[in-house]
Amino acid sequence: MTIPETTASPTLSRLIPPDLYQDLREDTRTTLLIRSAKLICPSGEYACLLRDVSSGGVRLRLFHATPPEPYAFLEMANGEIYPMEKKWCRPDQAGGDQAGFRFLQPIDVDRFIEEAGDYPRRPVRLRLECHGQLFTDGRSTPMVLRNISQGGALIETTTWLALHQTVRLVIDGMSERFAPGIFAQVRWRNRYHHGLAFDRAFRLDELAAHAKVLQPFAVQPSPAATALASQLMARSC
């Protein structure tokens, strides 16, 4: 649900730092919304919530600390990607972060809200590369986690899995969170790649917490990561 506004409201002025609030007032429109999306950084991919947007910037809620890189991409559910620059971040009362980003180019707010694009909307899917073990019929095989969403995952393994077969995943770094592992069923396969559906879907905040554990970022971004982000942004503009 979205609430259009012709100008930034008094409520927004209390939520957003004064410097960004002034920037938002100069944009064509500020719109309040709650929508899931993905923040892409050199350190990894992280689930987030969009809280408001204008033609010049967006405010995000993350379920953990904000990645340290100064530049990032915002990927929407329809696959549209927007390059951004981080302007501010601060902890919120729920234990995560609020963060303000400026788009490197002004956006069409209506198109952004409608999520119009060449592809249909799909749940937030985080691309990563994490190793672990796959358990089937009492046997253990190495596997690589290629992406994960609230409802499933893509894994790569040399074991040939049958459709609808029940499997158990033990992912390196997540053993403390899931002592017995994650149970899932095979929904599709393509050679060594298998699409899985979890027996119990994650909430968005759970997915974000798992992603942060699997993709820890340094307190300060490395020069190489910062240079890579700058190159990507330059090509995107």
Domain ranges within the chain, ordered by starting residue: 2-114, 125-214
Architecture of the CATH domain 125-214:
Beta Barrel (2.40)
Residue 31 pLDDT level (bands cut at 50, 70, 90) = confident
What's the token pair of residue 233? 């942004």
Q: Which residue stretches of 4-88 are H helix? A: 10-15, 18-26
Predicted model pTM: 0.77
CATH assignment, 2-114? 2.40.10.220
pLDDT of residue 29: 53
Residue at 64: amino acid letter: H
Q: Quote the CA–CA distance of 125 and 121 in Å, as a whole number.
A: 11
- pLDDT bucket at 177, cuts 50 / 70 / 90: low
Q: Do the first three CATH levels of 2-114 and 125-214 match, i.e. the same topology?
A: yes
40 has pLDDT over 60: yes
CB 34 within 8 A of CB 49: yes
- Which residues fall within 8 angstroms of residue 144, CB to CB, at 6 or more apart? 129, 130, 131, 132, 155, 156, 157
| d(C-alpha 208, C-alpha 60), whole Å | 13
Q: Give residue-wise pLDDT tens across range 50-86.
A: 999 999 999 999 999 999 999 999 999 889 999 999 9
